[in-house]
Amino acid sequence: MKVSLNWLNDYVDIGEVSPAELAEKITRSGIEVDAVDDRSEGLKNIVVGYVLECSKHPQADKLNVCRVDVGEEAPVQIICGAPNVAAGQHVVVARPGARLPGGIKIKKAKLRGEESHGMICSLQELGFDGKVVPKAYADGIYVLPESAEPGSDALAILGLDDTVLELDLTPNRADALSMLGVAYEAGAILSQEVKLPDTSHGETGDPASGMLNLRIDAPEANPLYGAKVVRNVKVGESPDWLKARLMAAGVRPLNNIVDVTNYVLIEYGQPLHAFDYDRLGTGEIVVRHAGEGETIVTLDGAERKLQPHHLLITNGREPVAIAGVMGGANSEVHDGTTSVVIEAAWFDPASVRRTSRELGLRSDASTRFEKGVDPNRVLAAGERAAALMEELAGGEVMAGTVLFDELDKEPVRVTVSPDFINERLGMKIPFEDMEKILGRLQFPYEAVNGLFVIDAPTRRGDIAIPEDIVEEIARLYGYDEIPKTLPVAESIPGGLNPYQAKRRVVRRFLEGAGLYQAITYSLTSEKEAQKFALDTAPVTKLLMPMSEERSTLRQSLLPHLLEAATYNTARQAGSVALYETGSVFLAEGADGLPVEVEHAAAVITGDWSGSEWQGSKRPVDFYAVKGIVEGMLDLLGLTGRLSFRKGEMAGLHPGRTADVLLDGERVGIIGQLHPSEQKARDLKDTVVMELNLEEVLRKENEPLLYRPVPKFPSVSRDVALVVTKPTESGTLESAIRSSAGNLLKEVRVFDVYEGDKMEEGMKSIAFSLTYQDPEHTLTDEEVTEVHHRVIEALEAEGAKVRS
């Protein structure tokens, strides 16, 4: 909402308060002022000129040589390129030394050999937005009324001696979508009365109802409809003050009739519509819902297909307007209009909102109707428009209003105690101060038994409950006055729950291991959504995606992490290591929502660990990532319950992929990217993992208890085995563990060899076994006995002990 302070001053005395100060006060007490636009800023030495003569420039077709009276003894010569310049016009002249917006300085100049003492200005050159400039002057200079005195300051005539405040309104403050609403707000802030506009006008002897019939077929959607008829209007240009105010408010002037409806809309916040009575054709207005397949061509020339719940204004035969949204082209006021019907109505906000949204058609009218207009201001706005049409278009207002009125206009009664207000705020505002604030707000109230009984004015549709009064009192008393305290209550222990605490442990571990945390988008394309998913589930799709790329919820974190890896490798040398924790979204659960599971995933590509100059840098391999998974689960106390088996997944190397099992259940996957996948993504060798983090973190581990540090030494025995190549070390390790019994403390693979010194199809794996007894020092015989059992078990698995 753009608020011209000159205009606002009609209703409330701003007095000596500077625009900046007023803006600050308004912002601090409720409505954010986005900008304070001093419209005269940068404008200097701009006067009224009268074009005495105008002839073609001898050297240039498109230029005119004008002799202009600028209020001095002798006229001055000004070269003007505007197509619409002509002798006899009053124009805006920027004299030499003048300044225009954007820091432009006007100097004496020679244009193709002819001297020019200044510039005749268009409105755009004076800083007006092209969108608000009247169409007649859109491509040329602006022409002032004949009353303008040559040599006088042109800024006042153009309304540029003004400051405009731009208000950023929250949805609850629709009351401030009007000059009067802003006046009440400013009045409350400055403790000033509000003067209402003059709505008085003359009336003809004939009643309006003699010319117009009214029928409302949809009283729920349109409980109030008032129509005034104004005869014998002369359609023409509006006076400068009116045009200037509309332009200041961001509205393009059109003609005096339409300008009046727009002016009153801004003044009262009540949208009005003017129909050409003769074009209406039937002397009748019927408000009804649209029929199946009905259409209307709106003022903007577009044909709109209507639905049966859209409310229409009709002439009894065909639609002439979409109620509260936009008028129809067929009944539009035009230059030849002589009689006008002014519509002042109240339409159901939800209905207007729905219609406007469905038709993709927003207007100044719909914006206000859908937030609810003041029921008690509807008819006053109609009278105001009639008065202005009488004054500005020479119209005769027919007696009375053709009216349908079933609208509840009663104010909402709110009862609230001063104690409640102070308790909620944690303040001690005196009763008298609260009374003063209610007075400033012009909220009628009574103090009954120490309670405020307030009749909230209908212009403030946002006031309905005691808490609303708390806010009104607080904002005008000043939020700076609220003390700073802390909640007085039994203190509740805060903190992370075990799940959240363990999640932090996991993140810190992954970062400590050298991975950077990524955060990627949850939405992806349908094609990518199921890639690398641990479990297959139906996808969750948006009803109306903004693009195919972001249409479906992901089921794996890996596709976007891999994208991030490619992005990074394309921009820097070396390796990338990223991880992410985040939700994946699987098939619909019992409660109608998708099953949302938190996963952790990692991508490592290129080199991993080591030092380049020491020659120890190595490309990432499966085991690097497996080590990370093992380390992470060890940190969560789950080592003993973790196992791995050969796995498979589309997009991963078939020989280098493992399922991660926890308590025998698959909770994740580790694998090298399939070579074709690597190539497609422009990546070097890349290893990924993804875990169902939720499953992992939900596992309770053993309580952390001290175990005595061994008092007796341990004994190590190594065993090197020759086995067939496909034999998994895990199988051998299981054989060792199950045969060794309690004395075995640790098994470790310390060497694997598959080179040419081995027999074809064979490999060597060497284990180091550690034996220990907590009660005594083991004897050689005891160890040998156990170790023999182990070797027998290994041989039973087909392993040969290497000498």
Q: Which is nearer to other proteins, 511 or 663 (CB)?
A: 511
CA distance 478 to 582: 43
Please list, in sequence order, all residues whose beta carbon lies within 8 angstroms of the beta carbon of residue 451, skipping any fewer than 6 positions away: 415, 416, 417
Q: How does strand 284-289 pair with strand 213-216?
A: parallel
Q: Are 372 and 461 in contact (CB under 8 A)?
A: yes
Residue of 410, 471, 479 lying closest to 444 (CA atoms): 410
Tell the smallest beta-carbon distance from residue 329 to other proteins (Å): 27
Beta carbon of residue 694, minimum distance to other proteins (angstroms, whole number): 11
Q: Is 591 annotated as a binding residue?
A: no
Closest CB to other proteins among residues 75, 582: 582
Sequential DSSP letters for 736-756? HHHHHGGGEEEEEEEEEE-ST
Q: Pick the closer one to other proteins by CB: 578 or 786.
A: 578
Residues 351 and 555: their CA atoms lie apart, in Å, by: 40
Tell me how far apart the alpha carbons of residues 750 and 744 are, in angstroms, rounded to a whole number.
17
- In whole angstroms, what is the distance from residue 770 CA to residue 362 CA? 80
Place of tokens 């399939």: 674
Q: How far is the CB of 160 from other proteins (least distance, A)?
A: 24
Q: In angstroms, rounded to a whole number, what is the distance separating the alpha carbons of residues 772 and 716?
A: 9
Q: How far apart are CA 125 and CA 143, in angstroms?
A: 14
Q: Which is nearer to other proteins, 34 or 284 (CB)?
A: 34
Shorter beta-carbon distance to other proteins: residue 572 or 803:
572
Distance CA 461, CA 372 (A): 7
The answer to whether the annotation marks 468 as part of a ligand binding site is yes
Cβ closer to other proteins: 611 or 803?
611
Q: Minimum distance between the CB of residue 396 and other proteins, rounded to whole angstroms?
A: 40
Find the shortest distance in angstroms from Cβ 488 to other proteins: 7
3-class secondary structure, 33: strand
| Residues paired with 749 in a beta bridge | 767
Q: CB of 31: closest distance to other proteins in angstroms?
A: 8
- Strand runs (DSSP E) across 664-743, as ranges? 665-673, 686-691, 715-724
CA 292 to chain CA mean position, Å: 35
Instruction: Return the number of the residue (576 or 790) whose C-beta is nearest other proteins.
Output: 576
Q: Is 535 annotated as a binding-site member? A: no
Q: How far is the CB of 188 from other proteins (least distance, A)?
A: 12
Output 167 or 786, the one with its CB closest to other proteins. 167
Task: Please identify, using beta-carbon distances, which residue of 529 and 564 lies nearer to other proteins.
Answer: 564
Q: How far is the CB of 592 from other proteins (least distance, A)?
A: 6
Give the SS3 label for residue 331.
helix
- Looking at this protein, which amino acid is placed at residue 153? D
Specify burial of residue 563 (Cβ count, 10 A radius: 0-12, 13-18, 19+). middle
Nearest distance in Å: CB 499, other proteins = 9
Q: Give the residue with the Cβ less far from other proteins, 597 or 791.
A: 597
Nearer to other proteins, 321 or 561 (CB): 561
Min separation Cβ 614 and other proteins, Å: 7
Measure the CA–CA gap between 41 and 33, rounded to whole angstroms. Answer: 18
- Report how far residue 596's alpha carbon sits from residue 589's, in angstroms, rounded to the nearest whole number: 9
Nearer to other proteins, 74 or 489 (CB): 489
C-beta of 439: minimal distance to other proteins in Å? 19
**Shortest spacing between CB 533 and other proteins, in angstroms:** 17
Helix, strand or coil, per DSSP, at residue 494? coil
**Residue 188 one-letter amino acid:** A
Instruction: Using the minimum distance from each CB to other proteins, give the nearer residue, 27 or 714.
Output: 27
Helix (H) or strand (E) holding 781: helix 780-796
Residue with tokens 């755009």: 124
Q: What 8-state DSSP symbol labels residue 326?
A: E
Three-state DSSP class for 23?
helix
From the list 418, 426, 413, 311, the residue with the least C-alpha distance to 369 is 311
Decide if 651 contacts 531 (C-beta within 8 A): yes
User: What is the Cα–Cα distance from 352 to 371, expressed in whole angstroms?
Assistant: 9
Q: For 246, how many CA atoms within 13 A lie in the half-sphere containing its CB?
A: 26
In terms of phi and psi (left: phi > 0; alpha: psi -120 to 50; beta: otherwise), the region of 606 is left
Spatial separation of the C-alpha atoms in residues 549 and 526, rounded to whole Å? 8
Query: Who contacts 50 (Cβ-Cβ below 8 Å, separation ≥6)?
Result: 68, 69, 89, 90, 91, 150
Token pair of 41, please?
Answer: 């800023």
Residue 384 in tokens: 């105001």
Query: Is residue 335 a known part of a binding site?
Result: no
Concatenating the DSSP letter of every residue in 222-283 gives: -SEEEEEEEES----PPPHHHHHHHHHTT-----HHHHHHHHHHHHHS--EEEEEHHHH-SS
Q: CB of residue 235 vs other proteins: minimum separation in angstroms?
A: 36
Please report how close the Cβ of residue 704 comes to other proteins at its closest, in angstroms: 22
- Shortest distance (Å) from residue 472 CB to other proteins: 9
Question: If residue 628 lies in a helix (H) or strand (E), which one and from where to where?
Answer: helix 622-635
Give whichever of 423 and 746 is closer to other proteins, judged by the CB atom: 423
Q: Considering the complex, state which of residue 142 and residue 585 has its C-beta at the smaller distance from other proteins.
A: 585
Residues making up the annotated binding site for Mg(2+) are 462, 468, 471-472
Residues making up the annotated binding site are 462, 468, 471-472
